[in-house]
């Protein structure tokens, strides 16, 4: 198999290989392994935006602790 690499990138790779006492082939293989591994890992979890219209907390909750807010949210729900 033949891979074409831009001349300037190849020169940089040769310098790195020389410095690291390895070959350009080994560098290419290492880079490909990293990319393949990265693509095999599941995507990062992202919490969807779930905000609603409003202006934040109700005035009665202004300055309340997280415990007080949680208690109010679960009031009457058996928690």
13-62 confidence digits (pLDDT tens): 999 999 999 999 999 999 999 999 888 877 778 888 877 777 777 888 88
Q: Given a cut of 80, is residue 79 above it in pLDDT?
A: no
The reply to whether 57 falls in a domain is no
Comparing CA positions, the residue from 57, 49, 59 lying closest to residue 73 is 57
Q: Is residue 24 part of a domain?
A: yes
Q: How far apart are the first and last CA of the chain?
A: 64
Residue 54 falls inside a structural domain: no
**Model confidence pLDDT, tens digit, residues 48-68:** 887 777 777 788 888 899 999
Q: What does the angle CA 68 – CA 62 – CA 65 come to, to the nearest 5 degrees?
A: 30
- Domain of 25 in residue numbering reads as 7-40
Whether pTM > 0.85 for this model: the answer is no
Domain assignment present for residue 75? The answer is: no
72 is a domain residue: no
Tell me, yes or no, whether 21 lies in a domain: yes
pLDDT digits 0-9 by tens, 1-17: 898 999 999 999 999 99
Residue 19, phi then psi, degrees to nearest 5: -65, -40
How many domains does the structure of the chain reveal? 1
Pick the closest to residue 13 from 25, 4, 3, 1 (CA basis).
25
């Amino acid at each position: 198999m033949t891979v074409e690499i831009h001349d300037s990138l190849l020169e940089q790779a040769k310098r790195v290989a020389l410095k690291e006492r390895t070959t350009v082939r080994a560098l290419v293989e290492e880079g490909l392994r990293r990319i393949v591994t990265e693509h095999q890992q599941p995507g990062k979890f992202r919490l969807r935006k779930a905000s609603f219209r409003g202006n934040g907390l109700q005035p009665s909750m202004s300055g309340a602790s997280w415990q007080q807010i949680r208690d109010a949210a679960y009031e009457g729900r058996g928690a």
